[in-house]
Structure 1
Amino acid sequence: MLTAKQHELLTFIHQRLEKGGISPSFEEMKDALELKSKSGVHRLISALEERGFIRRLPNRARALEVLKIPEKGNAAPIQLSGASPMARSNRPVGAMPVAANDVVSVPLHGRIAAGVPIEAMEGQNSLSVPMALLGTGEHYALEVSGDSMIDAGIFDGDYALIQRARTARDGDIVVALVHNEDATLKYLHHENGRIRLDPANSSYTPQYYREDEVEIQGKLAGLLRRYH
């Protein structure tokens, strides 16, 4: 059973996806439910996700998919094949097919900031990657924008190969989604109850956030570089 607010939020998200194919913003959800702060929306989203009614689409701001909706009365929830054509097209890729020459195709999800955070957008393209650069698990690729990680050998225009992950250890290079809006590629550190995202360029300063302001969406697994 869902609470009244959980049901109201799920219905609102589902209707917006059906209408325009884009999830409502947290501000829109807060206003629609007449909540005082967006932290209440975050709690409702987490509860719906834990119960399997929705899921977040990785590495894209404002990306939610409704998986099922409660039926009227006591009937079982209705399973949905996808909230919208956009949501269906962005389903995570499962087991990746291996080609005869040990090259696999991974989703290419737009650009990631190595500098000031920028929005990382889902894309419809793919990138062929040597299997030797990937470990176990599910992976995707992002094009690097900026120079804040050059001392780690990560340059503007490189393709960062990312292993999907929700957690990481201090010192890992991660994709961090900040304020559920902007994504950046940085070293991860925990410091005095806060998250510190460190650049690898002395021209940039570390970024500090509360733990609830940052969501880890993957760890750097490898790099590809094209020479022109």
Structure 2
Amino acid sequence: MRSLTDKQQQLWEYIIGYIVDHDQFPTFSNIQEEFGYASPNSVTQQINSLVQKNYLEKVDWGKYVIHPSRRNQIPGIDPGIPVKGRIAAGGMHEAIQENLGHLPVEIHPANTDHYFALIVDGDSMIDADINDGDYIIIDPREPRDGEIGAILYNGETTLKTIRKKKQGITLHPENPSYEPIHITPDEWEQVQVFGTLVGKAWKKDGQWGLVFRAA
């Protein structure tokens, strides 16, 4: 692995310290203020250098995480998938706001640093083999038609299959005991998408299981 310049090393150490202290990646504004860069372009150049040298990984527009090859070398950072809270699979409830630790490192596949997990409350998705108490693994991207999404709507969260039509979007339960939720196009701006279900984990008899779904 290529060595860092002095400036890159300073930025790397700042990013690690910020993540340890705040449990999130610093913003470009944070970095620009810390190092007195003249413009965000200077931040981008330095960040890109860390990406090229496999210290950081770009996972979305303007979003970066620690490269998987570096996580185990950083004291204080748990390499497991973070558990961000609970989500309803039944009636809707309040937004995800908790921090419930991490799934164990042994079930953390490579190239999944941007994923997070939620604990399922309820049985509205049992026909999709998602059960009360399961840990669902979420990729923070918008779900495609037919995929299962973690949705915030009217201040409450829910886990449902997404059905996209010209008339709007339906949040479809996978249990006939529950009614679908219909959202018209003019209501879509009230919806926040946390991400798309890509797998689940569970613990039984002291052993962890993990399964990922095909994209």
TM-score of the superposed pair, with normalisation by structure 2 = 0.56
Return the alpha-carbon distance in structure 1 between the equivalents of residues 145 and 118 of structure 2. 22
Deviation at 1:220, TM superposition (A): 0.6
Which one of 105, 112, 118 corresponds to residue 142 of structure 1? 118
Identity of aligned residues (%): 35
RMSD: 3.5
Query: Is contact 1:193–1:211 with CA below 8 Å preserved after alignment?
Result: no
Return the alpha-carbon distance in structure 1 between the equivalents of residues 113 and 169 of structure 2. 25
Q: In the TM superposition, what whole-angstrom CA distance separates every residue of 1:174-225 from its partner, at most 9, and x where no partner exists?
A: 111112x211111011223322100000001110122122221111111111
Return the alpha-carbon distance in structure 1 between the equivalents of residues 64 and 102 of structure 2. 11
Pick closer, same or farther for the CA change 1:192–1:185 going to 2, 3 Å.
same
Query: Is contact 2:86–2:98 with CA below 8 Å preserved after alignment?
Result: no
* Matched position secondary structure for 2:197: strand
In the alignment, structure 1 segments of 5+ residues that lack a partner are 1-64, 69-75, 78-91
Structure-2 residue corresponding to 1:182: 156
Corresponding pairs, count: 141
* Matched position secondary structure for 2:80: strand
The question of 1:199 aligning with 2:150 is answered no
Query: Is contact 2:150–2:193 with CA below 8 Å preserved after alignment?
Result: yes
Which one of 174, 191, 198 corresponds to residue 214 of structure 1? 191
Structure-1 residue corresponding to 2:89: 114
In the alignment, structure 2 segments of 5+ residues that lack a partner are 1-26, 31-37, 40-62, 206-215
Q: In the TM superposition, what whole-angstrom CA distance separates every residue of 1:24-59 from its partner, at most 9, and x where no partner exists?
A: xxxxxxxxxxxxxxxxxxxxxxxxxxxxxxxxxxxx
Pick closer, same or farther for the CA change 1:113–1:135 going to 2, 3 Å.
farther
> Which runs of 4 or more aligned residues in structure 1 lie more than 4 Å from their structure 2 counterparts after TM superposition?
134-137
Pick closer, same or farther for the CA change 1:191–1:98 going to 2, 3 Å.
farther
TM-score of the superposed pair, with normalisation by structure 1 = 0.53
Pick closer, same or farther for the CA change 1:168–1:155 going to 2, 3 Å.
same
Pick closer, same or farther for the CA change 1:98–1:170 going to 2, 3 Å.
farther
Pick closer, same or farther for the CA change 1:199–1:193 going to 2, 3 Å.
same
Query: Is contact 2:85–2:99 with CA below 8 Å preserved after alignment?
Result: yes
